[in-house]
Each structure stands twice: as C-alpha cells, then as structure tokens.
Amino acid sequence: MTPFVTLDAVAAPLPVANVDTDQIIPARFLRKPRSAGYRNFLFADVRKAGFVLDRPEWAGAGILVAGPNFGCGSSREAAVYALVDAGIRCVVAPSFGDIFAGNAGKNGLLTVTLPEATVGGLLDRLAAAPGARLAVDLPAQTVTEADGTVHAFGIDAFRKQGLIDGRDDVDVTLAHAATIAAWEATDRDARPWV
Amino acid sequence: MTPRTLFDKVWDAHAVLTRDDGQTLLAIDRHFVHEGSFHAFGMIDHAGRAVRRPDRTYGVADHYVPSHDRRRPIADPEVANMVEMLRANTARHGIRLFGLDDPRQGIVHVIGPEEGLTLPGLTIVCGDSHTSTHGAFGALGFGIGASEVSHVLATQTLWQRRPRTLRITVDGAPGPFVSGKDLILSIIAAIGAGGAVGHVIEYAGSAIRALSMEGRLTVCNMSIEAGARAGMVAPDDTTFAYLHGRPNAPTGAGWDRAVAAWRDLATDAGARFDREVRLDAADIAPTVTWGTSPETAVPVTARVPDPSAEPDGRRRAQIVEMLDYMGLAPGVPLAEVAVDRVFIGSCTNGRIEDLRAAAAVLKGRKAAVPGLVTPGSTPVKAQAEAEGLDRIFKAAGLGWGEAGCSMCVGMNGDLVAAGERCASTSNRNFPHRQGQGARTHLMSPAMVAAAAVTGRLTDVRRLMEGA
Ligand code: SF4
C-alpha cells in the first residue's frame, strides 16, 4: 500500500456525526471492481447541492474533518477505497468505527482521533476559511493548522508503523508461521471439538 | 488467579503471541466468507498465497441471492456475477460453500448457529459487521474488512489490540411484547451509536438470561450499532440445549467434555470491567426508531422529537436533517405515522421465533400495506412452512420469499422506493440503506406485524388488547 508519512492538504469540514459506511459508499456499488473508479461512488447518495467536496473552495481536498463515530456501520472496506480513490488520505474525527479505522490503516488512509472540542473548533475554523490547509505529521503525531496551532494525537504503534512503512501485515505474520503451527497443535488437544 | 471475564478467557485462549506494542496475534477458529469477499480473494490470489485452513473457512451466499426466483441465470448479470465469483473462489480453494441450491443456505449469522458451527469460546470472524451476532453463544465474533479477510485466509490469525470491556446488565421482567429487539434498541438509545466504540460488550442480568437463543442473537447482532467490537452472552443451559444435536456440534463423550469446558467460560465473580451500564427491563416498552441512526430509538408511545428543545447547535442541526430525511414533523405522536411497506427478515430478526412472533399478530388479520417476509435461512423457511406460518403471511397479503439478506440492504434488488416509509425488523435505518431515499423505522417482528395491520406505526400491545 501507499505509505503515509506527512501530508499538507486542503481540509474539508463535514460537521456530521455517525457518518456510516453506507453513506460513504452505497451498497449498489459494492459489486463493482476497484477498477470501476470508486471515487465516483463516494458519498453518492448524500451529495446534495453544495456538498462540501463539490465546492470549488475545497477542490482537491486531501483531508476530511468530521463528527464523532465516523465510518460506523457496515465493514465494507470499499468505503476506504472510495475515500482514497477520491484523494482523501486523512480523516480527523473525535471517534471512528473500529472496523473502518482498521480498514483505513491497511490502505494508507490515516485516521486521526482528536477530542470532540478540538474537532469542533477545527470544523468552525475550516468552514470560516474555505480552502484552508492542515499539515499532518505521522511520525511526530501532530496536526498543524495554518496559524501554527499544533494538535498532538495518539495512535496505536503497530498501525502507525504499518502506515509509515506501507507494510503488508501478512508478511509480518508469516514470519511467525512456526509459532502459529505450534499453537494449533496444542489447541487440537485442548479443544478437539473445534 | 485473578478473576477474569468471559471475554478475557476467550481472548487469552486464542493469543498466539503478544508484542510489546500491545498487538496480539489472535488465532481464528471460524471464518465465514460471502459474495462481498471477492476483494479479499483477489488479494491472496494477487500475492500468490494459499488459504491456510480451508477446513475452518465457510462460504455463504446470502447478500445477493434472489428472494423470489431461484432459477438460473439470475436476471441481473452483476448480481449473478457476485454469486458466481463466490462459488468459483470457494471451489478453487477447497472451501465448503452454502450456495444458492444448498438446503442449509441462509444468512451467515443465521446458519452459523443453526449448523452448530458457532460454538461457545470460539473466535469467529467474517467480512461483515454483524458477526457480533455469534457472541450470543459466548463466542468472540467480530466483523472485519477485506484486507483482514485476506489476512485470515492466508494465516488463520489476526493482529488485534485488546479491546476494553463493557458489561451491560439488564435485570427485571420485560412487559408483554417486549422482545430482544426492544432491549437492544433501548440499550443503543441509552449509550449512543458510538457508545461502545473500542469495547466488547458482555450482556448479563436476569432479562438476558431469560432470553431464548434467538433473543440473545438479536441482542448481540446489534452490538455493532452501538459501535461495539463484539457482544457476548455467557453460555448456559439454554445455549447447550440449542446446540445439542446440531450438525457440527460435538457428540457423545466429546459433547460432555466440551460442555464442561464451556461452563467454565462464564465471567468469574469479582472480575473487573472497564465500564458498567445497568438497565431495568421493566422500563422498556415496544420500541421504534424515528431517525437515521439506531440510537434514535424511543418507546412507540413517544412523539417525534422537537429540535428546538436541543441546546447543542450541531446536534440540533442533525435532528433537523434527520427529520427532513424521514419526512417527519416535530411533536407528532409516532403511533400516528403512516407506513407504506413492511419488511420482516434479516440476520437480526429472520429466525423461527421472529417469524412466529410476527405470525401471531398477523393471524386472521389483513395487512393494510404491502410487505415482504424473508426467512433467515432455508431451514427456517422449511420450519415456518411446516408450522403454516407462510400461509398466515400470504393470507394477510404479504410476500413470502427465499432466504437471504433481501430488503435489509437491497443488494439483490429488493429495494424500498424513494420516499417510501418502511417498518422493518432489520438493523440499520441509515439514509438510503434500504434504497435511495428510503425511510426506515426499526422495530421488532411483532411491531412490524402490527404496523402492517394498521398501516401506521402501532403499539402492538394495544392492537392485541382483548385479542
Ligand atoms: S441481513 Fe442485513 S445486516 Fe445481516 S448480514 Fe445481511 S445485509 Fe448484513
């Protein structure tokens, strides 16, 4: 996958809570191959007139700032494909659906969790200054606003390194193949009914 | 030894190794794949990797299967392709498939338990968020994305960070017509759609213990709608009675040994949870949702909320947005809201007990609006027909379909039309979930049946008074 280290990009405000993955990509597109252009399916049913990503001020946005519980609902990784294929490489929100956050980390999409009040302030300032940029530094774990205000964020160390390296987890795991086989042999005796 | 929770015991038993950074390599006992898993098969094929444990992987055709006509070819070529890709991928990798013509076919979260593949203490994953359903048996079941599906296919393990634990205790006796669906909708309303993010829920208390396996499955199914990683119920005699004699359940001395081990899974006295929430079942009424998030669940006796009463600006805007999408005016009693259509089915409420509850209300009555009933599995369909439930639904004027996800998600073409209001036993009322512009109200099977009879959201208790 494409590594994620730093990103300086236009940040689009989406001040909505519980943006579910059905909204991010509707079910009828899930039968399409990735080559069909998943960016065209992003938010397909909720893109009303004036939708933030369609406004010229936010053209080319690479960061989305949203309300709590972003990416809740269906486990469809296609939601991440649609965001990434549309050029979004980072989503900032007070919280994320767990499955979505896991999927994001495996596709070079950084999920930044910041306190609700911080995100609320960001949303207000981004709406007031259309086209404003944010600078994201994953190794330093910071988001920096145009005026220099720095917000530090926490991230799981394994996910962070995976993003920076653009790593394939299966390779990491297969290095433990002997340990897995040993576990399976012990378990066969312990739980023969499995 | 430190007292441990049910979750701790299952997690610890599957930890192949834990790294210093807190990541655990978790062994997976059961892996279900469905039509949507084509991305994941593509990934392992692309990397030239084999499926490590085809014997612990099961294919299920459910999301795209037609409800009305099982003849081939399936009319929509893209839908046909999804079902065919699953057949080809499972065949190529030697994976058992519950396919279109299999008499055991059904929704993955219905047939896992039915087949005795879902057992206490197992780790169970599937590229589907409602894999939390399987926790009703004291298994750790959770949904994963396509990359993780490909990881499990290749390694039969997953890297996971240990989630936090949340115990939700529901004590007391629920009133008439209060089902597992009403319990879980009320729980979600209490803690919020993101209330359990990062947590595994254990459901405990006398009201949970009193539920049948079907009721517990409904509760655990919707754990994800509160954001939880998984939901679990400790296995007990109800669990063992359900499993005994199931096709893949252990037998003879193996059964006794397994049950003895399963009894030890229950949370130890004094075990610590990161959070605790308590509800009284006596406070829970038949419940409906009014908005586009499952957390908008309220008693059917309530009114549509008034956004002007909400002090927080962002939340107020969101209520306005939801009411606009749902076509509802503030302050209107929910029991006056007319519906256009009903749907009974899905992995939440497509089991035999759900169909019985709906049929009990519909018996001898006519539906005032059109609707569809789809059983959760082909065995459920056969059982329902043996009991004559299909005849009750048809006599009421509702459609009786084949087993699958159907109108829960509309992937097979069973869609709610734009602007139509649907009373549904499914689990998601998200905007456009049942179709573009569809308006979904979530509720129990008995409540959907009552809505079908009157053509509006209805308190099933009043309909059945004196009946
Ligand atoms: S019935 Fe609905 S929620 Fe359940 S697995 Fe199928 S599509 Fe998903």
Asked if the C-beta of A45 comes within 8 angstroms of chain B's C-beta atoms, the answer is yes
pLDDT digits (tens, 9 = 90+) for A93-113: 999 999 999 999 999 999 999
Residue A20: list chain B partners with CB under 8 A: 293, 428, 430
Three-state DSSP at A8 gives strand
pLDDT of residue B239: 98
Three-state DSSP at B98 gives strand
Is B451 in contact with B443 (CB distance < 8 Å)? Answer: yes
Asked if the C-beta of B253 comes within 8 angstroms of chain A's C-beta atoms, the answer is no
Asked if the C-beta of B143 comes within 8 angstroms of chain A's C-beta atoms, the answer is yes
**Alpha carbon of B39 to those of A34, A37, A104, B210, B396: distances in Å?**
8, 15, 15, 41, 42
pLDDT of residue A70: 98
Put simply, the answer to whether B411 touches A157 (Cβ < 8 Å) is no
Asked if the C-beta of B105 comes within 8 angstroms of chain A's C-beta atoms, the answer is no
DSSP letter at A129?
Answer: S
**Alpha carbon of B197 to those of A71, A96, B191, B192: distances in Å?**
11, 8, 10, 10
Cα separation, A119 vs A66, whole angstroms: 8
Reference A72, options B160, B196, B227, B189; nearest CA is B227
Pairing of strands A150-152, B421-424: unpaired
Cis amide bond preceding B163, omega within 30: no
Cα separation, B160 vs B142, whole angstroms: 11
Range A6-167: architecture per CATH? Alpha-Beta Barrel (3.20)
- Mark the ranges of chain B whose per-residue pLDDT is less than 50: none
Which phi and psi angles does A165 have, rounded to 5°? -85, -15
Helices (H), chain A: 21-24, 78-85, 98-105, 116-128, 157-165, 169-174, 177-190
Which residue lies with its CA nearest to atom 6 of ligand 1?
Answer: B405
Which pair of structure tokens corresponds to residue A173?
Answer: 């795991």
pLDDT of residue B69: 86
Residue B384 parent element (H or E): helix B378-386
CATH 3.40.1010.10 fits B289-463, yes or no: no
DSSP bridge pairs for B165: B200
pLDDT of residue A21: 98
Which pair of structure tokens corresponds to residue B144?
Answer: 């994963």
Point out the residue among B21, B227, B433 whose CB comes nearest to the CB of A22.
B433
Task: List A residues 4-23 in contact with B (Cβ-Cβ < 8 A).
Answer: 15-18, 20, 22-23
Three-state DSSP at B447 gives helix
Q: Which residues contact B139 (CB under 8 A, 6 or more apart)?
A: B10, B118, B119, B120, B121, B122, B123, B124, B232
Residue B215 parent element (H or E): helix B213-221
Answer whether B442 contacts ligand 1 (Cβ < 6 A).
Answer: no
Reference B445, options B418, B427, B467, B433; nearest CA is B427
Which phi and psi angles does A146 have, rounded to 5°? -60, -35
pLDDT of residue B70: 87
Which pair of structure tokens corresponds to residue B196?
Answer: 């359990």
Which pair of structure tokens corresponds to residue B349?
Answer: 């409420």
Answer whether B427 contacts ligand 1 (Cβ < 6 A).
Answer: yes
pLDDT of residue B466: 65
Answer whether B351 contacts ligand 1 (Cβ < 6 A).
Answer: no
Residue A113: list chain B partners with CB under 8 A: none
Cα separation, B21 vs B155, whole angstroms: 21
Q: Which residues contact B50 (CB under 8 A, 6 or more apart)?
A: B44, B93, B154
Cα separation, B191 vs B169, whole angstroms: 13
Which pair of structure tokens corresponds to residue B142?
Answer: 């959770």
Asked if the C-beta of B356 comes within 8 angstroms of chain A's C-beta atoms, the answer is no
Which pair of structure tokens corresponds to residue B113?
Answer: 């338990």
Asked if the C-beta of A98 comes within 8 angstroms of chain B's C-beta atoms, the answer is yes
pLDDT of residue B353: 98
Residue B49: list chain A partners with CB under 8 A: 170
DSSP letter at A142?
Answer: E
pLDDT of residue B71: 85
DSSP bridge pairs for A143: A136, A151
- The helices-and-strands tally (H runs, E runs) of chain B is 17, 19
Range B6-275: architecture per CATH? 2-Layer Sandwich (3.30)
Q: Where on the phi/psi map is residue A57: left (φ > 0), alpha (ψ -120 to 50), or beta?
A: alpha
User: Complex ipTM, two decimals?
Assistant: 0.97
Question: What residue ranges of chain B are covered by domains with CATH 3.30.499.10?
Answer: 6-275, 289-463
Reference A149, options A115, A122, A123; nearest CA is A122
pLDDT digits (tens, 9 = 90+) for A7-50: 999 999 999 999 999 999 999 999 999 999 999 999 999 998 88
What's the sign of the alpha-carbon dihedral B301, B405, A76, B218?
A: positive
CA of B408 to the centre of ligand 1 (A): 6
Packing angle of the helix pair B146-155, A98-105 (nearest 10 deg): 70
Asked if the C-beta of A127 comes within 8 angstroms of chain B's C-beta atoms, the answer is no
Cα separation, A37 vs B22, whole angstroms: 37
pTM above 0.90, yes or no: yes
Residue A119: list chain B partners with CB under 8 A: none
Residue B17: list chain A partners with CB under 8 A: 176, 179
Cα separation, B422 vs B434, whole angstroms: 9
CA of A26 to the centre of ligand 1 (A): 14
Cα separation, B342 vs B334, whole angstroms: 16
Put simply, the answer to whether A169 touches B159 (Cβ < 8 Å) is yes
Residue B108 parent element (H or E): helix B108-114
CB pairs under 8 A between A and B: 174
Cα separation, A8 vs B429, whole angstroms: 36
Q: Which residues contact A43 (CB under 8 A, 6 or more apart)?
A: A23, A24, A25, A51, A53, A82
Q: Which residues contact B232 (CB under 8 A, 6 or more apart)?
A: B6, B7, B10, B135, B136, B138, B139, B140, B200, B201, B202, B203, B220
Side chain identity at residue B126, one-letter code: C
Cα separation, B180 vs B185, whole angstroms: 9
CA angle A153, A157, A160 (to 5 degrees): 70
